[in-house]
Amino acid sequence: MQIHYKFSESDIKKLLKENLVILYDTREQQNSHILAYFDSKKVPYKRKKIDEGDYTAIITKRHDMGIYRDLYFPVAIERKNSVDELAGNLSEKTDTHDDIRLIRELQRAKSKRVKMYLIIEDKNGMEHIRTGKYRSLYQPKAFLGRLSSIQDLYLHDTLFVDRKDTGFEIYRKLYYSVRNFLKELDTDISPENQQATK
């Protein structure tokens, strides 16, 4: 038997303060600056394999509030450490698939109704794309066209940020996404022996 529950505003505040945990993917590299931000703000985090994106968030189980297993939410953040990395990803050539890996990942997320965000660690990234200031043979017009198409098809938001602000932006996007999901939540929160919601 499934258990459904509507959380009050005070429940939501309590859960976000005491039970929100950021998950980052096992393949995520060079993120010590992000984890340092989480540490400085006492934001709990855990390394775990994530199917879509590099970061997501959960609300951990809390029996006293009727949550008998961790709650997963259809939200994820894909992080690129530079415009160079994004250009490399979007100009990939492959013989084995019809589309490049990043786009396949975004397509998979869309099919699962996962709200995706893209964060690029370059606060002047859009200007650098337009003017070709990146290390790639990918032409600015083609790069901008591909990115614009991806933004329209798959992304909830795209942020070009200073590297020092990445942790803050990841936390901010995940915090408010989870908050909004909790406000509208009508999900099964029954005991762990049943499949977790994702």
Closest CA to 45 of 181, 189, 197, 174: 174
Q: What is the 3-state secondary structure (H, E, C) of the chain?
A: CCCECCCCHHHHHHHHHHCEEEEECCCCCCCHHHHHHHHHCCCCEEECCCCCCCEEEEECCEHHHCECCCEECCEEEEEECCHHHHHHHHCCCCCCCCCCHHHHHHHHHHHCCCEEEEEECCCCHHHHHHHCCCCCCCCHHHHHHHHHHHHHHHEEEEEECCHHHHHHHHHHHHHHHHHHHHHCCCCECCCCCCCCCC
Is the pLDDT at 50 greater than 80? The verdict is: yes
What digits encode the pLDDT tens for the residues 113-168? Answer: 999 999 999 999 999 999 999 999 889 999 999 999 999 999 999 999 999 999 99
Mean pLDDT of the chain: 89
Query: Considering the chain, what percentage of its residues have pLDDT values greater than 90?
Result: 76
Q: Please, which pLDDT band fits residue 66 given cuts at 50, 70 and 90? A: confident
Fold for 9-183, please state it.
Rossmann fold (3.40.50)
Would you state the pLDDT for residue 194? 47
Q: Please, which pLDDT band fits residue 101 given cuts at 50, 70 and 90? A: confident
The domain limits of the chain are 9-183
Is the pLDDT at 98 greater than 60? The verdict is: no
Q: Rounded CA gap, 82 and 114, in Å?
A: 24
Would you state the pLDDT for residue 122? 98
Would you state the pLDDT for residue 198? 42
Would you state the pLDDT for residue 91? 79
How many residues would you count in the chain? 198
Is the pLDDT at 19 greater than 70? The verdict is: yes
